[in-house]
Amino acid sequence: MNRFVLSLLSLLALALASVQLSAQSPRFYTVSQGLPSTRIISLSFDSDEFLWISTERGLGRFNGLDFTNFTSNRESQYSLHENNLSCMMEDKQGRHWVGAMDGFYNFSPTENKFTYHELSLIEGDRVSVSDIQCLPDDSTHLLISSFGRGVYVFDTQRDALDTLATTRISSLLDRYTHVTHLTFDASNR
């Protein structure tokens, strides 16, 4: 009887261990499984629990099973202009914002359309976006950092750069213009 109970307990422990191991086994995804590129710049989740993957070759949306990729298509005005992307974030209204080496985009998941926004205080001087964040306690403004050009404030209601706020922030940064990430502390500072 002891031998039977010991065998049964051993089988149960083995079954539990295999379930636990399989639940913790990582999956490895490459381009052949649908990833736009294996050179991943950033990852983020949206409120629909999609994983967004910004890469040097486009934007990937992963639902846990399949990838949907968004890449540049010169024939469509509602496509990305380029594929080298730095970030994606969803604001408090559920709008998706995508940072790129030539500015940034607003993406409508229901229409699968990208709307391009040039980020510059000088016409034609495109700025590479490194990060996009919502201002705490403010659902209408985005804080956008750049590679070598400081931090910008974008007014989502006016769909335009807030030049006054951007100038104020720039004066505070002085010569520190290469800002790669934006973070707020527990006090929203």
Closest CA to 88 of 102, 101, 99, 100: 99
H or E stretch including 18?
helix 2-24
pLDDT for position 121: 64
Structural contact between residues 89 and 133, judged by C-beta atoms closer than 8 angstroms: yes
> In this predicted model, what pLDDT tens digit does every residue of 127-139 receive, in sequence order?
889 999 887 778 8
Task: Name the average pLDDT for the chain.
Answer: 82
Mean pLDDT of 84-108: 92
pLDDT for position 31: 92
> In this predicted model, what pLDDT tens digit does every residue of 32-91 receive, in sequence order?
999 999 999 999 999 999 999 999 999 999 999 999 999 999 899 999 999 999 999 999
Tokens representing 74?
A: 């010169």
* Residue 153 DSSP symbol: E
